[in-house]
Amino acid sequence: MPATSQELHFLAISELAARIQSKKLSPVDLAKHFLDRSEKLGPRFNAYARLTPELALEQAEAAQKEIARGHYRGPLHGIPYAAKDLLATKGMPTTWGAKPYADQVFDYDAAVIEHLRRVGAVLIGKAAMIELAGGMGYRYASASLQGEAKNPWNTQCWTCGSSSGSGAVVAAGLAAFAIGTETWGSIVCPSSFCGVSGLRPTYGRVSRFGAMSLCFSLDKIGPMCRTADDCARVFSAIAGHDIRDRGTVPIDKAAFTFSPSLDLKARPLKIGWLTNAWKQVDPEVERVSKAAHATIRKLFAGTRDTTLPTGPWEEAASFIVAVECAASFRDLIRSGRVSELNDSLGQIAGYVNQELPASDYLQALKIRQILQKKMDKVFETYDVLVAPTLPVTASALDANIENIFSGGDPFGAIGNLCGFPALSVPCGFTSKNLPVGLNFVAKAGDDLAVIIAARTFQQHTDFHRRHPKL
Amino acid sequence: MPNHKFSRRDFARRVALASAATLVPASVLTNPDLAPTAARQFAPNAPPLPPASQTEADARTQSILAQYGSRLSDQQKTEIARLSNNQQRQLDILRAYSVQNGDDPALYLKPLMEREKKPAPTNPAATSTAKPAQAAPAPAAPKPKS
């Protein structure tokens, strides 16, 4: 039987925050609890690039003093978290998961780290990740400076990437939440494989200042948590316009306010269940997702089956990723230091991507614009589109990723090409006790819709309360 | 009627191929068909590329080998040929998709947000008075054929 969420390290942010605010739980004790657990269990999963105990205790003590003085900053005050190791943290290594950057140290914090410090969150470590967030291509889970991230539900399985450590951290209860990033699938895939709730915000709502740039027109930063509700809390702390990131949307469209007392029925959502999100679905995932479909139909009146428009969306997304990534790592490729990457594909794919013609890149961007308009029409009928996050469950650690994901990912391509928000939550388990994810996607800017939909789903299910027995 | 003339681009490509020949794995040199054959070995279900596409993919491979061949193993060179072929398949699909001259590229992704859309005109008369009286009719916006 899986563990329950009654243990301190599996409590949701809202529950931890209530205890901290009422002074029943000390931020210092909480930080020590998570640090001890991370030291003990982190290596088992290759979850961390590094722990930051000194910083964590300093921040936790500051939080404790402030709260004792009556200055409570809000629901993240004193809450321990981990940040993917591509977010700059002043004065300590930020490795981007890759050997050529193993000793890289920034003298400033990423915007997300700043935001979380401002609300009193406690950074306990930098989460491991796939090298360069997978931008150079990779075939194996071992494509990481920290080694293969092992799934807390089954350590013979992978967590998915590229926010591999973030998934392991949250699933194993090593921190209350983690920050991940997604260019194409890197938040929702680990969330699905690890049975956690992960929010990929609308493109441009969270500043990427101080984050490794992979693909400037696709990179997003978002929270990975225990619940959709927690995702909303963290998102409201990190969302906002930033003049240092030209990709951020204007002030009034970037900011996000979340009220936990939100009446979920106040906004009836029109749900479209996608029947062509995946070409082939694993029979066990199919079984679980059928049950989830029935739940969705029960919860949202008028849920209808629908389909995504067909077109070369995956090709366009792949092409844009390839070209932008080659531009981001031009110096690394030209210097030959790509040979230091772990993955044999990552060592050479940059050379191929550098040769792609600019006119074809523009063709892909034209197709992207056409797709945006097509999807705008879809969202005239539906508020939220829903489908299994992935057609498979966590893959074996030594599996070749090219074989696992050979069936394509049109939903992921469309969502990321258009900058749509997505929230993946666990919706069941296979007979081998591996989690299955359900993905909610809305139009750009309507992050609230995916939060409401996922929150409603979680209020009527308990999959998010199940945790691996460690 | 087939055109046997070489364009300047074709000529340049052939020169590039010739100049890069020393960087190509020996196995490829002995059999000019081996690069695509090797690629098919890695992707057994992929159909062969059309000849023009294969030429383009090979030219990109040779360009890479000309620049970086000295730092690549034979296995990596063969793998690069396979990746170039795979990229070419994507390119062919992208190019086949119909876009119009007036379709804008999403040069910097701007998500389409509800509040940014122009409000639909509610009063046709008001809309028409907003235009200059003698304005020439605006050309119809090109629509994507998709």
Could you report the per-residue pLDDT of A18-72, keeping only the tens digit for each?
A: 999 999 999 999 999 999 999 999 999 999 999 999 999 999 999 999 999 999 9
Which member of A336, A339, A376 has the closest CB to residue B112? A376
CB A148 within 8 A of CB A395: no
Could you report the per-residue pLDDT of A287-321, keeping only the tens digit for each?
A: 999 999 999 999 999 899 999 999 999 999 999 99
Give the model's pLDDT for residue B146: 37
Cis peptide, bond prior to residue A191, ω within 30 of zero: no
Which member of B64, B90, B94 has the closest CB to residue A351? B64
CB of A202 within 8 Å of any CB in chain B? yes
CB A436 within 8 A of CB A428: yes
Could you report the per-residue pLDDT of B3-14, keeping only the tens digit for each?
A: 444 444 443 444
Could you report the per-residue pLDDT of A351-366, keeping only the tens digit for each?
A: 999 999 999 999 999 9
- How close B134 comes to chain A (CA, Å)? 32
Main-chain phi, psi angles of A403, to 5 degrees: -80, -35
All residues of chain A having their beta carbon less than 8 Å from the beta carbon of residue B35 are none
The pLDDT > 70 percentage for chain A reads: 99
All residues of chain B having their beta carbon less than 8 Å from the beta carbon of residue A365 are 105-107
All residues of chain A having their beta carbon less than 8 Å from the beta carbon of residue B106 are 217, 365-366, 368-369, 372
Q: Minimum mean pLDDT among A161-170, A201-210, A257-266, B91-100: which range?
A: A257-266
Q: Determine the residue type at A105.
A: V
Supply the residues of A annotated as catalytic: 84, 162, 186
Query: Are A368 and B103 in contact (CB < 8 Å)?
Result: no
ipTM given for this complex: 0.89
CB of A419 within 8 Å of any CB in chain B? yes
Give the separation between CA B107 and CA A239, rounded to whole angstroms: 23
CB < 8 Å from B in window 159-188 of A: none
Q: Average pLDDT, stretch A434-442?
A: 98
Could you report the per-residue pLDDT of A370-426, keeping only the tens digit for each?
A: 999 999 999 999 999 999 999 999 999 999 988 877 778 999 999 999 999 999 999
Main-chain phi, psi angles of A437, to 5 degrees: -105, 150
Instruction: With both helix axes pointing from N to C terminus, report the angle between A410-417 and A358-381 in degrees, rounded to the nearest 10.
Output: 100
- How close A46 comes to chain B (CA, Å)? 29
Query: Are B109 and A312 in contact (CB < 8 Å)?
Result: no
The closest of A311, A411, A309 to B98, measured between CA atoms, is A311
- Which of the residue ranges A226-240, B31-45, B100-114 has the most confident prediction, judged by mean pLDDT? A226-240
The DSSP string of A397-445 is: TT--HHHHTTT--HHHHHHHHTT--EEEEEEEE-TT--EEEEEEEE-TT
Q: How many CB pairs under 8 A join A and B?
A: 122
Which member of A348, A363, A376 has the closest CB to residue B94? A363
Give the model's pLDDT for residue B105: 87
| Spatial CB neighbours of B93, under 8 Å, sequence gap ≥ 6 | A312, A315
Which member of B60, B76, B112 has the closest CB to residue A372? B112
Q: Average pLDDT, stretch A219-246?
A: 97
CB A64 within 8 A of CB A28: yes
CB of A246 within 8 Å of any CB in chain B? yes
* Residue A90 CB coordination number (10 Å): 15
Alpha helices in A119-227 (DSSP H): 164-171, 188-194
Give the separation between CA B146 and CA B143, rounded to whole angstroms: 9
